[in-house]
Amino acid sequence: MDALFGLIRMGCICGKEALRINDRRFYLRSRLGEGGFSYVDLIEEIRTHKDYALKRITCHSNEEERIALQEIELMRTFQHPNIIPLEASSVIKVNQYSKSLDIVSEVLIVMPYYSRGSLQDVIEKMSKKSERFPEESVWELFKGICLGLQVFHKHNPPYAH
């Protein structure tokens, strides 16, 4: 009975995919997008009800896994207001019975969720309405991008993005 009251208190998560990443629990809300090697999902932390973006990178080789882990390490290394921070991460190794799918692992990267989307999303929405950024906003965005990149370039050794 206590378990039932615990579920009621945290909200019903019935039928939703649940994930545990770094001792934090999340459930999947929806798919936000996908690229060549990854998917981005909207997830909600069960304890705080806060939304996050989850990047799922499917690794088909040890080399792909190494590259994905390098992305996590870079996110841990760089902390700056103009660089998206790492909230949590995990690697899920595929068991021997699933290797027929030619997948070695899935790397999970939890990042903040920005409800307005990416800069590209905002540009596309404005374009559909025939709107443009004011020039001062363009310069402010450009400056922010440059400040973020400067952190990469000043690192020893420097990183290019």
Residue 52 pairs in a beta bridge with: 43, 112
For residue range 80-108, list pLDDT tens digits in order: 999 999 999 999 998 755 555 688 899 99
So what's the architecture of 18-115 in CATH?
Answer: 2-Layer Sandwich (3.30)
**CB environment 41-71: b (16+ within 10 A), e (fewer):** bbbbbbeeeeebbbbbbbbeeeebbeebbeb
Residues 84 and 93: their CA atoms lie apart, in Å, by 26
Long-range contacts of 97-103 (CB under 8 A, 24+ apart): 102/60, 103/58, 103/59, 103/60
For residue range 30-70, list pLDDT tens digits in order: 999 998 889 999 999 999 999 999 999 999 899 999 999 99
All CATH 3.30.200.20 domain ranges in the chain, comma separated: 18-115
Residues 69 and 8: their CA atoms lie apart, in Å, by 37
